[in-house]
Amino acid sequence: MAEYLNPTVGCEKLIKILREKGITDERVLDAFRKVPRHLFVDGAMYAQAYDDNALPIGNGQTISQPIVVAMMTEMLELKKDEKILEIGTGSGFQTAILAQFSRRVYTIERQRELGENARKRLRELGYINVVCKIGDGTCGWQQFAPFDKIIVTAGAPVVPKTLIDQLAIGGRMIIPAGDREKQELHIYDRSELGCKCRVTGDVTFVPLIGEHGW
């Protein structure tokens, strides 16, 4: 475990693991190099920051497993000039990864303490293209809709229509949906003819709480 105390060594070992698990987008892997994951976890978890595991961040929430972050980011097929909505800021790690690829990231966190901590952390790290909000993410953020990409980092019982409606033509949304113990990733692509959905991969996220969630 001692090598993980060196962020550079730990990060490169994590990237090797991500490659072995099927991540091929070099832009995503490079984003992991640029976002120091140890700064998004509690000090007691520092030595585990570059393991491929989810870790507790307080308030019953977790920082997602790196392979899940990388996989969902890769699935979004991000471009540099897009407007992204993230539901579930959490620690802000996924937010920082998204910020590498977007014109602006709008991120919503339900729990005030987590949201304020993430806002402060992202500001200190220089992410000026991130806008944070404390509120019910299941309602989306109508003020800035439509969004080119939407990513939800909590498990929903059903996919909220409010979020589908805020997806731009040509846009994509990724959301885990299922029961409280296990979900599947739902990928929505919107065209002028409507939305097409495909389902892939079992995942486990904390519950999506809100008016259109649990």
Write the CB contacts of 172 (distance below 8 Å, at least 6 apart in sequence): 75, 76, 77, 148, 149, 150, 187, 188, 189, 190
Strand 82-87 to strand 102-109: parallel, antiparallel, or no bridges (unpaired)? parallel
What is the helix (H) or strand (E) element at residue 54, kind and residue range? Answer: none
Q: Token pair 């303490």 is at which residue?
A: 113
Minimal CA–CA distance to 50: which of 60, 58, 40?
A: 40
Active-site residue, 64 included: yes
From the list 64, 91, 102, 191, the catalytic residue is 64
Please give the Cα distance from 177 to 123 (Å, whole number). 31
State both tokens at 174. Answer: 């990724």
Q: How many CB atoms lie within 10 A of CB 211?
A: 10
Catalytic residues: 64
